[in-house]
Amino acid sequence: MPPLEVLQFPDPRLKEVSVPVSDVDDALRALADEMLAVMYDEPGIGLAAPQVGHAIRLVVMDTDWSDEGQDKDPAVILNPEIIEREGKVGWEEGCLSVPDFTAEVERSAHIVVRYQDLDGKEVTEEVSGLRAVCFQHEIDHLDGVLFIDRISRLRRSMYVKRRKKQLRQEEEPASLGS
């Protein structure tokens, strides 16, 4: 199997709604392991399966980790759903699938999320802060939503224009000179 590659905006696969995971098997465990390796390598604190071309409700996260040497505490999350929301918080977000851009996004300050782990055990977790923001960001990916869909139309259109220009420049053949 070829190594996983993070899809980048405007790849249309990022807009697909993911299907629930029904069976935990060796292939799913291998995908989760590969996703964790990609997440740490990029580096990031969360990665959803749609970002690597798999339209399933699988997320990997490690909100305590940074590339400055902290211990890793990875979580593999299947079929997450937010069952309660409270309050509002603005958070500066970035995304491995939205290169070279960050923006403040309004999120729920506190959430209760329900999901399954790799053993099929149901987990209910009450979270706030970075972990709550990360859950909301990654669940958005599972629903075909990018964080740039949650910012002002003006900021989003400016990014889209810049990204299209960047992609055109990457596609232009290098000029041949002496």
- Provide the token pair at 60: 């990997």
**Residue 116, SS3?**
strand
109 and 132 Cβ atoms separated by less than 8 Å: yes
Which residue in the list 104, 125, 138, 170 is annotated as catalytic? Answer: 138
End-to-end alpha-carbon separation of the chain, Å?
Answer: 41
38-135-7 Cα angle (round to 5): 35
Whole-angstrom distance, CA of residue 82 vs CA of residue 135: 9
Parallel, antiparallel or unpaired: strands 110-116 and 46-48? unpaired
Q: Is 138 a catalytic residue?
A: yes
Spatial contact of 142 and 20, defined as CB atoms under 8 Å apart: no
Active site amino acids: 138
